[in-house]
Structures are given as C-alpha cells and as structure tokens.
Amino acid sequence: MTYEIERPSPCLVRLKAAIPAAEAERVRRQVTREFAESTALPGFRRGKAPMPLVAKRFAQEIKSETEERLLRAVWDEAVATEKLQVAGPLGVVEARWQDGGGFAFTGEFEVYPQVTLPPVSGFAPPEFAIEPSEEEVEAFLKGLAERQASWQGVEDGRAEDGMLVEAEVEGEFPQGGGDPFREELAVFRLGSGEVYPEIEEAVRGLGIGGEAVARRDVTRQGEEGTVPVEYKLRIKGLRRKVVPDVDDALAAQMGVEGGLEGLRKKAREVLRQAKKRERFKALREALVKYLGGEQPLPLPKRVVEEETRKAAVRYAESLHRQGVNVEELNWQELAPKLEASVAERLREELLLDHLANQLGVAVSDEDVDAVVRREARERGVPFAELKGNLAKSGGLAKIRGILRRERAVAQVLEPLLGEG
C-alpha cells in the first residue's frame, strides 16, 4: 500500500492512500471468514454457513469492517513510519472503491507539534534573592503582631474609625413597604464599610448609651423604586484594637525562645523558605519560557477545545459547590480566558514531556502508587478503590505524567539552585 502525507498546518496531517486490489481482497476475505466463523444463520450451525452466503448476507457490514481495517492499517503504518504523535481520531474526508477492486481514501487527523528543545545547558536562570531584607522582616513581624491584637472595651471614649461598635438596631419603614425589624446586637467596625455610610455617620462620635437615627432609601429585592428606612441605633459597647508591641513579650506570647532576636531569626527563616518556593516557581516559569522559544508552540485545535470543555465543567462544579448559580455566569466572556489558560498549560506539559524524554526520566509503578496511597489517606478512602477508579478514568497516567514532568524540572533546576 502507498500513502502520501501532507501538513496543511503544524498540527494537522492529511493522509492520502491507495490500497491495491489484492490487499483489499485479502482483508475482505479475512473479515468474511471471521463473520462466517462467528455467525449462526438459519439452517446452519454456528460457523458452518458457506462464505458466499455470509458475504451476501452481511455485505454492508463486511464492507464497513474491511474499510475500517484498511484505514486503520494505513494510518498505523503512517504514524509509526513518520513518528507522529497522534492527538485525535482519523477523520475520513473521502473514501472510494476503485473499479479494479482497490480502495483509496483521504483522511485528516491532528497531531502534536514536533518539538525541538534548545540545549538545557544554555538555560540561564534569572537572579532571585532569597535572603529577606530588614524591611520585609519588620513588615512580617508587624503583621504577626496585628494577628495577635486584642479588642479592648472603651468606657469613656467616643466612637471613631477603626473601633468595633456594638449597637442595638431597630428599623422601620415610615412610609410602609415592610415590617419593622430589630437586632439586639449588631457588631461592625467603624469606617470599614461593613454597614451603610448613613449608619456610620450617625454613630461616629457617640459614646456608650448614645442614640442616633439614620435614614436611607433602600431598594427592596425584586421590586422597582426605593422605600425609606429609619434605623434607630443605641450604642451598647465600643472596643478599640490593641496591637502588641514587637518585643520580647510578643516573642514569648508566640512561644519563641530567645526573645525578640529569636523571633526575628524565626521570621527570617520563614521568609527565606517562602522565597525559596517563589524562586523555584520563578525558575520553573523561566525554564518553560526558555524551552518554548520565541514563537508560541502550535497546539491541536480539538485537544484544546476538549480540554477547555473539561476545565469549564470543573470550574462550574467548583462554583456550584460554593453556592454560585453557574447559569448566571457569562460563559461567552469566560470561554476565551479559559481557553488561553488551557492552551498555556498544554504547551507547558508538551515542552516538559519532551524535556523528560530527552533526560530519560522514568517513573516507576511504586512512585505512582505512593502518590495514590497518600491521596487515599487524605481522602479517607481505601487505596485499592481509589487506584481502581483512577485506572478507569486515566488518572494514573495523568499522575505518572505529572511526576515525570516535575522530576525533569527538578533535574534541571536543582544543580542551578545549589545549596539554597
């Protein structure tokens, strides 16, 4: 059999093939024989019906099966010979039986692009300082102190921005349109926008026991126009945030030995670890960018579409779990963004897969099992059940792929990171 390959685009292959009559006849006979062996016709025991009878009785089925086998044979040969990485099924554009009994067809299928990676030795990692500056340490300690802050009651003071206000609220609709309501203890932080500005304005400057009235026109849900609401407020308590000083006492409160210096040391170490993670992430991004070169890698359209669809489903499910009505989302607007992020992920995977191939990175079944075992423990499900489900859904192959890629990245980056 002879075939021709055309590449209309980097990810699309057009396959034209002509199968000689003798080969087509051989396959047709084989198919007919298999039909004859497996079918039971009236008057004949299974497998005893004569071939001509079977050939006429199942003419259409035999023809389809023969065509499929011929297509598959040529396709497999072309893929193996040309070393193509198939990304989608073969779509038949044209297929016809020739007068002499030969079979010819034209089909198209998508492939992953051919990737030629630049030498890894040429990768120059960007500079990334992991030693935190004094300002960063101070900011970290300040944040730490903020988190240790307490709210202390204010007996004589007046409500001002930043204070926590505890108030009794009574609301009514002077012109009708709603039932009066009452809240025994409403707590809000003044100046933070947690309540209406009219309420904040009314409360500001009041002491404990002080009363005020705030008015606001509100829109009732599902109705047009507004109705005025009158809020009667009575201050029941005021609290001021007290942030502890960054000193030995704070260190002791945090359970750190060595006083303030010990706390500083600890903060520096935490920041250094965070920066190391950031550095690895930045270097990984730089490596992928370097491997990808200047031009964005072309991707098979159908794969991107399918992956985008899956990503959209996952996103919708996660939003639904959070109680968001997914039908109200503008999917038309969201789709291009989703597609761009999927394409970026696919490009990264493709490049890193090639890198792993180039480096000869291997992942054993035990490595995959270890990941599945850890996941099973976290989810609280039996290991065998999770592994079985993953095997069915292709999850094991995905885990293996992720491990391979991450090992390839680590293999390149770890020598560059040195002891840091």
Partner 1 sequence: MKDPREIIVRPLITEKTSALQEQANVLCFEVAPEANKIEIRQAVERLFGVKVVSVQVVNMRGKLRRYGRFSGFRPDWRKAYVRLAPGEKAPEFFEKV
Which spans of this chain sit near partner 1 (rule: CB under 8 A)? 41-45, 48-50, 52-53, 56-57
Which is nearer to partner 1, 49 or 361 (by Cβ)?
49
Which is nearer to partner 1, 44 or 173 (by Cβ)?
44
Cβ atoms of 284 and 409 closer than 8 Å: yes
Q: Least separation, in Å, of the C-beta of 63 and partner 1?
A: 16
Q: Rounded to whole angstroms, what are the CA distances from 214 to 172, 178, 226, 318?
A: 11, 17, 16, 40
Q: Least separation, in Å, of the C-beta of 43 and partner 1?
A: 3
Which is nearer to partner 1, 48 or 142 (by Cβ)?
48
Instruction: Identify the CA nearest to 89 among candidates 302, 304, 253.
Output: 302
Q: Least separation, in Å, of the C-beta of 41 and partner 1?
A: 8
Which is nearer to partner 1, 40 or 149 (by Cβ)?
40
φ/ψ of residue 200, rounded to 5: -60, -45
Which is nearer to partner 1, 43 or 380 (by Cβ)?
43
Q: Least separation, in Å, of the C-beta of 32 and partner 1?
A: 13
Distance between CA atoms of residues 8 and 25, nearest Å = 32
Q: Least separation, in Å, of the C-beta of 22 and partner 1?
A: 25
- List all residues 6 or more positions away from 6 whose beta carbon is below 8 Å from its beta carbon: 13, 14, 16
What sign has the CA pseudo-torsion 318, 323, 329, 333? Answer: negative
Distance between CA atoms of residues 355 and 372, nearest Å = 24
Q: What number of other Cβ atoms are within 10 A of residue 300's Cβ?
A: 22
Q: Least separation, in Å, of the C-beta of 368 and partner 1?
A: 54
Which is nearer to partner 1, 35 or 75 (by Cβ)?
35
What does the block give as tokens for 168? 């009794």
